[in-house]
């Protein structure tokens, strides 16, 4: 389970939060695995779930990779459902389809072992196929201003099962005594605002800075994209590096950066054109050569907005962006873009990152 809550809705219980929950619960109530397959089976490349000619998925079993996959999907779509309940659904499905063979014993052992046999590489390919298929089907009219695609980067932490292997790969926080904590995985994801799909992700342990994971996702961005990010990812180097790739950014100002609305040139109320100087300290994610190649200055817009959430005090948020044209990209549109993707609860992002 998540050990820290991100600012954006991307890493929430469901992509982009509560509105989709009713629909998801409706799908989750489909007791028939056959019904679930008929609804969504055409979206999954069946070749990825075929039995292997050799190896652990080559034997003829009740829980083939395809049956196991759809049983696992049914379990995920029914929060709180037990493995025993899913085994019962598989037994019902076998009776409905007149599947030959012995009946299931009701034990969850075979199902749990079958889940462990699912090929992680095949599941990753299926996930990639689904997410990019969703992205390709987004209409230009559904995109942001001037038909631009908006991508969101967000990070979170996840508690892993407490095993020696996990402790070695994803150690627990050093402040916790051995045996009193859980291994922690750090995760950074890239999402599409239009489709809500998780497009790519990068993971590491507590000792890997989020900016390093963030840079692993840059190749997945396309020229003309607009990247929306919270303050943990806001740095001089990131803003310049993305701009050089043809990607504009809208980021919340890092907490260590001053927000002086007396500086620069006014473009409108709470909207200023400012110039940042290249920092002296090199970010961890950048090599000496890469950092030396960055320009000495960077021109940005700085925009202030006030977020009012019922039951919480009004917060002031400052954005910086490489979208400098106030006519093509009005401050109101940039404020709405950020608010659309920001979590409603106050202070929910864990904030990390370092000024750079």
Is position 27 within any domain?
Answer: yes
User: Has residue 303 got a pLDDT over 60?
Assistant: yes
Provide the token pair at 296: 């000495």
Provide the token pair at 176: 């916790």
Q: Are 271 and 167 in the same domain?
A: yes
Q: Are 324 and 185 in the same domain?
A: yes
Can you give the pTM of this predicted structure?
0.77
Higher pLDDT, 169 or 238: 238
Q: Are 76 and 170 in the same domain?
A: no
Q: What SS3 state is found at 231?
A: helix
Confirm if 166 and 183 have CB atoms less than 8 A apart: yes
Q: Are 151 and 79 in the same domain?
A: no
308 vs 45, 254, 339, 343, 344, CA distance in Å?
Answer: 45, 20, 10, 12, 9
d(CA 301, CA 37): 49
Q: Are 166 and 99 in the same domain?
A: no
Average pLDDT over residues 126-152: 88
Is position 259 within any domain?
Answer: yes
Under DSSP, the state recorded for 209 is -
User: Which of 62, 88, 123 represents a domain boundary (last residue)?
Assistant: 123
Q: Are 179 and 317 in the same domain?
A: yes
Instruction: For residue 327, give every residue at least 6 positions away whose Cβ sits within 8 Å of its Cβ, in sequence order, or none.
Output: none
- Residue pLDDT, tens place only, 35-75: 788 888 888 888 888 876 666 655 667 788 888 998 998 88
Instruction: For residue 13, give every residue at least 6 positions away whose Cβ sits within 8 Å of its Cβ, in sequence order, or none.
Output: 21
So what's the pLDDT on residue 27? 55
Is position 349 within any domain?
Answer: no
Q: Which domain holds residue 282?
A: 138-341
Task: State the pLDDT confidence band at 330, using cuts at 50, 70 and 90.
Answer: very high
Q: Are 170 and 108 in the same domain?
A: no
Task: State the pLDDT confidence band at 207, using cuts at 50, 70 and 90.
Answer: confident
The β-bridge relationship of strands 226-229 and 248-252 is parallel
So what's the pLDDT on residue 356? 40
User: Which of 95, 123, 151 represents a domain boundary (last residue)?
Assistant: 123
Q: Are 233 and 291 in the same domain?
A: yes
DSSP per-residue letters across 174-207: TTSPTTSS--EEEEEEEEETTT--EEEEEEE-TT
- Residue pLDDT, tens place only, 216-243: 999 999 999 999 999 999 999 999 999 9
What total number of domains does the chain contain? 2
Q: Are 93 and 211 in the same domain?
A: no
Q: Are 216 and 333 in the same domain?
A: yes
Is position 130 within any domain?
Answer: no
User: Has residue 15 got a pLDDT over 50?
Assistant: no
Is position 355 within any domain?
Answer: no
Task: State the pLDDT confidence band at 284, using cuts at 50, 70 and 90.
Answer: confident
Is position 348 within any domain?
Answer: no
Q: Are 37 and 146 in the same domain?
A: no
Confirm if 251 and 320 have CB atoms less than 8 A apart: yes
Higher pLDDT, 95 or 347: 95
d(CA 335, CA 300): 15
Provide the token pair at 105: 């014993």
Q: Are 321 and 183 in the same domain?
A: yes
Provide the token pair at 143: 């995109």
Is position 223 within any domain?
Answer: yes
Is position 52 within any domain?
Answer: yes
């Amino acid at each position: 389970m998540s050990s820290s809550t991100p600012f954006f809705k991307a890493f929430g219980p469901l992509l982009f939060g509560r509105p989709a929950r009713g629909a998801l619960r409706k799908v989750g109530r489909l007791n028939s695995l056959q019904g679930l397959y008929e609804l969504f089976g055409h979206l999954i490349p069946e070749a990825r779930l075929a039995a292997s000619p050799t190896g652990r998925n080559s034997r003829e079993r009740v829980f083939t990779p395809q049956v196991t996959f759809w049983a696992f999907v049914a379990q995920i779509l029914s929060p709180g459902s037990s493995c025993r309940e899913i085994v019962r659904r598989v037994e019902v499905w076998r009776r409905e389809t007149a599947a030959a063979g012995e009946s299931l014993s009701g034990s969850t052992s075979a199902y749990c072992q079958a889940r462990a046999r699912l090929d992680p590489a095949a599941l990753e390919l299926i996930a990639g196929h689904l997410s990019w298929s969703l992205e390709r089907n987004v209409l230009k009219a559904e995109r942001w201003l001037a038909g631009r695609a908006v991508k969101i980067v967000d990070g979170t932490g996840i508690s892993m099962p407490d095993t020696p292997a996990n402790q070695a790969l994803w150690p627990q926080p050093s402040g916790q005594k051995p045996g009193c904590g859980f291994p922690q995985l750090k995760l950074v994801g890239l999402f599409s605002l239009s489709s809500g799909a998780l497009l790519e992700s990068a993971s590491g342990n507590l000792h890997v800075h989020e900016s390093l994971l963030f840079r692993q996702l840059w190749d997945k961005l396309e020229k003309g994209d607009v990247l929306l990010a919270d303050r943990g990812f806001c740095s001089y180097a990131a803003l310049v590096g993305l701009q050089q790739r043809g990607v504009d950014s809208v980021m919340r100002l890092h907490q260590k950066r001053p927000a002086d609305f007396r500086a620069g040139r006014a473009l409108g109320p709470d909207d200023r054109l400012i110039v940042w100087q290249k920092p002296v300290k090199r970010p961890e994610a950048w090599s000496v050569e890469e950092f030396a190649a960055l320009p000495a200055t960077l021109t940005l817009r700085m925009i202030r907005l006030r977020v009012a959430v019922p039951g919480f005090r009004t917060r002031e948020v400052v954005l910086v962006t490489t979208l400098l044209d106030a006519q093509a990209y009005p401050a109101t549109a940039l404020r709405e873009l950020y608010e659309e993707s920001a979590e409603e609860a106050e202070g929910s992002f864990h904030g990390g990152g370092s000024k750079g």
